[in-house]
Amino acid sequence: MTNFGNYEERVKGFSWALSEQELGYQPGQIINIGWYCSDRICQLGKADKTALIWEGFTGEKKIFSYNDIRLYSNVFAQFLTDLGIKAGDRVCLFMDRVPELYIGFVGILKTGAIAQPLFSAFGEESLFIRLENAQTSAIFTQKKHVSKVRKIRERLPHLKHIIIVDYDGKTPLQAREVAFSMEGSKKVEHYDIYPTYAETPSVLHYTSGTTGMPKGVQHVHYSLISQYLTAKWVLDLKDDDIYWCTADPGWVTGTSYGIIAPFSLGITQCVLDSGFSAEAWYKFIEKNRVTVWYSAPTAIRSLMKAGDEIIKKFDLSSLRHLASVGEPLNPEAVNWSIRVFGKPFHDTYWQTETGCIVITNFPGMPVKPGSMGRPFPGITATVLNPNNYEPYPEPGRIGLIGLKPGWPSMMRTYWNNEEAYKNKFRNGWYLTGDRARIDKEGYFWFVGRDDDVINTAGHLVSPFEVESALLEHPSVAESAVVSKPDPINMEVVKAFVTLKPGFTPSKDLELDIMNFIRKKLSPLAMPQEIEFVDSLPKTRSGKIMRRILHAKEWGEEIGDTSTLEND
Ligand code: WTA
C-alpha cells in the first residue's frame, strides 16, 4: 500500500487542512519548522530514533538521534541568541554537507531568524552578491571555506559574525570571526523557541533568472504544510524507511526534501558528504540499506554511463521507491532504472519558488517514461496560451506552465524585489517560466524553459551572471552566454566573446579568461568553452540575441531574424 492511494480519490475534496491536522497545527497558532523537525518528533516518542546517518568523504561516520537533533539545534539557537541575532535576521549556512549544516538549519529556524543556505563551492563573488543582497548578519562556515569570506567581508558591513564550526586554534581568528563547536558545546536542554507564525519568513534561497542578479526566494514557516504532505505522498516515506536525498542543501531540494520533509516526518535519513562516483553511491545504498532514493537526472545518466556490470557487485535490493528532480528525466533513464533496479525513477517537477513538488508521478500510478506526471492534489496546474495567458481548452498544445497561486509553500516574494515577484503573474496565474503540454490523460510533458536560463546538471545558471563576469576581464568587449548540448549534463555553458582592440584570440587568452572568471563564479556556472567571434548577433536596438547563438548550438531553425543588425 502506498501512502498516496488513488489519484481521483485524493483530488476529490482535497484540502491542505489534512496536512495541518496530521501535524497538529491549528490555523492562527504558532508554527515553527525547527520545532516540528526536532522537539515534536521527540514528543511523539521517537527521541531515540535515528534521524541522521552521516558519512564524510574520508569514510568517517556519525549518527544522530532525534533527541540529538533537538539538543544540538538548541545549542545553535542559544549560540545565535547570545550573539544578539534577532528574529528576521538572515543567517547564512556556507558549508559542505556536514552535520552542522543540517542541524544548524533547524537551530536557525528556532530563533526566528531566516536561514540562507548557500552552496559551499561558490566563489567569493557569487557569495558576495547573495550576502550583500540579503544584508546577512551572520554566516556559519568551515575552515576550508573561510578564506572566501575573508576576501569579501570588508565590503559587507552588515556581516557581523563569521562563525567557524571546526576551528582548531591553529591560526588566529580574524576580524568578526568566532569559533563554534556543536558537539563540543554544553547541550542545551531547553531553548525558548521564537513564536513564528504561518507567514513568518523562514528560508531564503537564491535562484538565477534571465535578467538581473540572482533573486532571493523567500519562504515562510507555513511551507511545512505542503513539504510534509508532498514528501509523505510522493516520496512515500514511511516510519521504517531509510531515505537518501542526494541534493545539497545549497539548493531547495536539499532543504525542502533533505531537511524539512524527512525530519518533520520523523524518518531516518542518510547523507553522503562526497562527490559523485557510481561505486561510492551503490556502496552507500548497500551499506545503509537505503529504501527511498531521491536524486537527479544528471546523476542517473552518470550511473547509466558507469554501466550495468558494476551494479551486479552490490546488493541494492533494499531500494523500494526512486524519484528524481531538477531537469527533464529522459525516457531512456526511466527504462534503464526499470531494467537494473526493477523499478522506475518517478519524475517530480517543481522549483525553488514553488517550495514543494507540484507535478509528479505518484507511487503506484503508471509511469509514462518522459512525462512529469500529474499535478499534486491542491495544486491547480495548466498550460497557458502565451498570447493571452488563458489555459488551452484542448490537450496537446504546447504552452506555458501556469500554477494557481495559494498553496502553502509558494514563495511569498523575491527578497527586496517585489517588482520581479509581481512580474511572475499573469491573468491570475503564477508563471513558472517553463513550457509543456498536457496529454489526454492529464499527464504533463516538459518541453523546455521559456527563458534563457541554462539548466546544467539540474543547476540553474543565469547567462547574465556569466556575461557580467566575462565583461570584467580587460580583453572582453562583449559577451553572450548560451547552452550547448551535453550527453550527461544535458546542457553546459558556452560563452561567445568579442575582444577589445589590441587583443587577439588564442588558447592562452581563453585560459586566462577562464581563470579570471573561475574566482567569480560557481564551478557549475563555468563555461565549458569560450568561442571568440568578430561580432555578436543583435537586434536593431542593439540587444544581443542569445536565441540565434542558442539555435546554432542545438542545430535548430533560427526563426525570424528580421530585426537583426548583422547576420
Ligand atoms: C527545471 C529545483 C524538467 C525547470 C527543484 C524548473 C525540471 C527549474 C524538472 C527549477 C523536471 C525542475 N523536469 N525540468 N522534473 N524539475 N526542472 O529552482 O526548468 O533549482 O523551472 O528547483 O528546473 O529549478 P530550481
One-character DSSP codes across 41-84? HIIIIITTSEEEEEE-TTS-EEEEEHHHHHHHHHHHHHHHHHHT
Domain identity same for 267 and 211 = yes
The residue segments making up the domain with residue 549 are 454-554
Domain identity same for 400 and 485 = no
Report the pLDDT value the prediction gives residue 560, as an integer from 0 to 100. 57
Residue 446 lies in a domain: no
Q: Name residue, grid cell 546577512.
A: 136
SS3 call for 391: strand
Report the pLDDT value the prediction gives residue 567, as an integer from 0 to 100. 40
Question: What does each C-alpha distance from 291 to 70, 243, 251, 287, 318 come to in angstroms?
Answer: 25, 6, 23, 11, 5
pLDDT in tens, the chain (567 residues): 999 999 999 999 899 999 999 999 999 999 999 999 999 999 999 999 999 999 999 999 999 999 999 999 999 999 999 999 999 999 999 999 999 999 999 999 999 999 999 999 998 888 999 999 999 999 999 999 999 999 999 999 999 999 999 999 999 999 999 999 999 999 999 999 999 999 999 999 999 876 778 999 999 999 999 999 999 999 999 999 999 999 999 999 999 999 999 999 999 999 999 989 999 999 999 999 999 999 999 999 999 999 999 999 999 999 999 999 999 999 999 999 999 999 999 999 999 999 999 999 999 999 999 999 999 999 999 999 999 999 999 999 999 999 999 999 999 999 999 999 999 999 999 999 999 999 999 999 999 999 889 999 999 998 988 998 999 999 999 999 999 999 999 999 999 999 999 999 999 999 999 999 998 888 889 999 999 999 999 877 777 888 899 999 999 877 655 555 544
Mutation probe of ligand 1 site: the residue of 455, 459, 491 with most atoms within 8 A of C-beta: 455
Domain identity same for 378 and 463 = no
Ligand 1 centre to CA of 448 (Å) is 10
Residue 567 lies in a domain: no
Domain identity same for 230 and 121 = yes
Q: Pick the last residue of a domain from 388, 404, 436.
A: 436
Domain identity same for 466 and 419 = no
Ligand 1, atom 14, residue with closest C-alpha: 327
Q: What's the domain count of the chain?
A: 2
Report the pLDDT value the prediction gives residue 524, as an integer from 0 to 100. 85
Report the pLDDT value the prediction gives residue 476, as an integer from 0 to 100. 96
Domain identity same for 425 and 462 = no
Backbone angles phi, psi at 153, to 5 degrees: -65, -30
Domain identity same for 490 and 396 = no
What residues flank ligand 1, with Cβ below 6 Å? 207, 251-253, 325-329, 347-352, 372, 432-434, 446, 449, 455, 460
Q: Pick the last residue of a domain from 375, 404, 436.
A: 436
Residue 105 lies in a domain: yes
Report the pLDDT value the prediction gives residue 558, as an integer from 0 to 100. 73
Ligand 1 centre to CA of 5 (Å) is 26
CA atoms of 470 and 132, how far apart (whole Å): 21
Report the pLDDT value the prediction gives residue 566, as an integer from 0 to 100. 47
CA atoms of 260 and 327, how far apart (whole Å): 22
Cβ atoms of 159 and 138 closer than 8 Å: yes
Domain identity same for 152 and 244 = yes
Mutation probe of ligand 1 site: the residue of 251, 252, 349 with most atoms within 8 A of C-beta: 349
Q: Which is nearest to 496 in space by CA: 516, 480, 484?
A: 480
Q: Pick the last residue of a domain from 436, 468, 486.
A: 436
Atom of ligand 1 nearest to the CA of 352: 18
CATH code assigned at 459: 3.30.300.30
Residue 258 lies in a domain: yes
Residue 46 lies in a domain: yes
Report the pLDDT value the prediction gives residue 134, as an integer from 0 to 100. 98
Q: Which is nearest to 476 in space by CA: 552, 527, 549?
A: 527
Domain identity same for 373 and 461 = no
Residue 448 lies in a domain: no
Residue type, 448: G
Domain identity same for 336 and 397 = yes
Residue 561 lies in a domain: no
Q: What pTM was computed for the model?
A: 0.94
Domain identity same for 411 and 539 = no
Ligand 1 centre to CA of 352 (Å) is 8
Domain identity same for 71 and 161 = yes
CATH code assigned at 333: 3.40.50.12780
Residue 442 lies in a domain: no
